[in-house]
Structure formats: C-alpha cells, structure tokens
Amino acid sequence: MSQHVRSLGVIAVAFVVAMAAASGTAVAGAKLEFRLSNQLPASHHISKGIILFANKVKEYSKGAIEVKVFDSAQLYKDTEIVEALQEGLIESGLVPVNKWSGMIPAADVFEMPFVFKDLTSIKKFIDAGAGELLDKEFQKRAVKTLFWVDYGYIQFFNNKRPLTKPDDFKGVTMRSFSSGDADTLKALGAAPTVMSSSEMYMALQRGTMDGATTGMPAAVSRKIQEVQKFMTEANYTTAQFVIQANLKWWDKLPQDQREAILKAGREAEEWIRGAIAQSEDEAKKVIQKAGVQIHALTPEARPLFIKATEPVRESFAKKSGDLAKKLMEIALGLK
C-alpha cells in the first residue's frame, strides 16, 4: 500500500472519529467528558456536593467519564441555563426549579406555603411520584433530570411579637423575597414589601420593616439575629434546584454510562441534604445564642396556618393545571 493511500486512510478514520464525537455518538474505548454549569460559588455546600458527584461519576465509570464543573456562572447564569440545556449548548447544569415555571407553571409547587413540613419532606415528595411527574414534563422540553438538589427552608423573623398563629401577623410590616412569598404574607395578614437581601439588614435595623422572611443560614450571613427579637421556625416554604442534562445528549449515552451517572447523582443528592441539615442546625445555634426567641409551630397551630394560606395554594392549582393539582395532592398527603 502506497504512503499516499495510507495517509488517506488515517485522515478518513480521524474524520469519522471527529464526526462521532461532534454528534455525541459513543466511540468504543473513547473517554467521555461532559460539562456541568453551576452558578453558585465553589465554597457553597451545593457546589461541594456537585464536586462529589463528579468524583463519583469517575469512580463508578472506572475512569471512563469525566465531569468538568464550571462554578460561579462561568458558563451560564441561572436565567440562561434552561435555554442552554434545551438547545444543547451545554451537556448538564444546576437549574433553580422555579426557572421552569414559565413553561411548566406547576414547577412552582416547591414555593407553595405550608406544604413541606421539614427537611425530610422534599425527599418523600419526590420519591412519592412528584419527581417522576416533573421529569416527564422536563423531558417533553428536551431536558432530563439527573438528580434533585434541596436548598433549605424559609422562616419568619420580626421585632413586634412572637408569630405563633395567623392573627399575630396583622399589622406587621415584613420584607419578602418574592411576589409569591408576598402573597403568603398577605394571606396571613402582614404587610409585605419585596426587597433584596442586601437591603434587609438596614431596613430591620432602622425599623422601616418590623420583620423579614429568610432562611436561617442566610439570616446568620446577613447578621439578622442582631436586629430581630423573634423567629418562628415554620419551614413554610423552600427553594429547590435540580441537576439536569440535554435529553438528546443523554439518550445517546450507553446504558452503563447512564447508570454510573445516576448512581453518582443519588449519592450527591443525599450528601447535599445532609449538608443542609448541618448548616441549618449550626445557624439555629447562632440565632439562639444571640438571644432571639425561637418559636416552633405547634401541631395545633400548623393547621391554622394551612387554612389561612389556602387561597394561595388554590390560586396556584387553578392557574397551573392538572399537574399542579396532582403535585399538591402528593405533597399534602405526606406524613
């Protein structure tokens, strides 16, 4: 065989391999690399959980798969990641579930008030069928769920009085983090103002707001315990994230590689839940030590809060269709 023919053969093989890689087709013996876009800083416990995921993927695939993690929105912001995944501009990424609400209104179920009682409730909700229902909707829109990422709970802080029943909220001015959260506060009788977390401390210190809604770790990071007297540990709403992949890319992966990725995802999901629980416990101790009176909702009081905020959930179910109704049935049926 002439040198010219051999050269043409090498070029042809190289071309086939390049085209296969570009199309996402697996080449026997080839190492798979994929990118994961993360908008959170590397120091965040969720980011650490994502690194654990990457390490476990490598372990369970026996080195055949490598996940390249890009922190701090180096590739995509939280407002861009859904479209990037749908269009195949990135293989995988961390997505705030509420960023799907424009296309899938029922995705806002996680932010409904008094639906999830404690840190174990989200896992129960997802495992009871909610995860599968939502993933079917995501797949209709070209995206596949790899694993769920819990974020933690929101509590009530204020300077006026202990908020132990809905009537206590009347006349209390409160900082709110979103319009949906403001709807909950209005239903309870408070006067909410949507305000960024960076403005919260000054408003509470100056007394322009009596109270605020925020999570315990976030409260400690903003030193809210220095300017508030009371906290109600209500776990009344939460934020939820999910690691997702472009569906076309996912469907082309061999079964053994998919299994390795999903197995790693299950471990990362549980690790992140544990990290949240520890973060919440540590923050609660700091808040208590600062002299804030903490009131946990009693079993008798919780139904009163559920009843008072029923219009918020009813409006959500009405506007968000049958899927929202199914998800709310699952959530409210949890023990």
pLDDT in tens, 182-219: 999 999 999 999 888 789 999 999 999 999 999 998 89
Q: Output the pTM of the full model.
A: 0.77
Query: Where do the domains of the chain lie, and which CATH numbers do they carry?
Result: 32-332 (3.40.190.170)
Q: What is the pLDDT of residues 101-118, one digit of tens each?
A: 889 999 989 989 998 877
211 forms beta bridges with: 158, 174
* pLDDT of amino acid 198: 80
Exposure on the CB side of residue 81, measured as CA atoms within 13 A: 30
User: If you write DSSP's letter for every residue of 213-256 in order, what string do you get?
Assistant: EE-HHHHHHTTGGGS-SEEEEEEEEEEEEEEEEEHHHHHTS-HH
Residues 261/35, Cβ–Cβ less than 8 Å: no
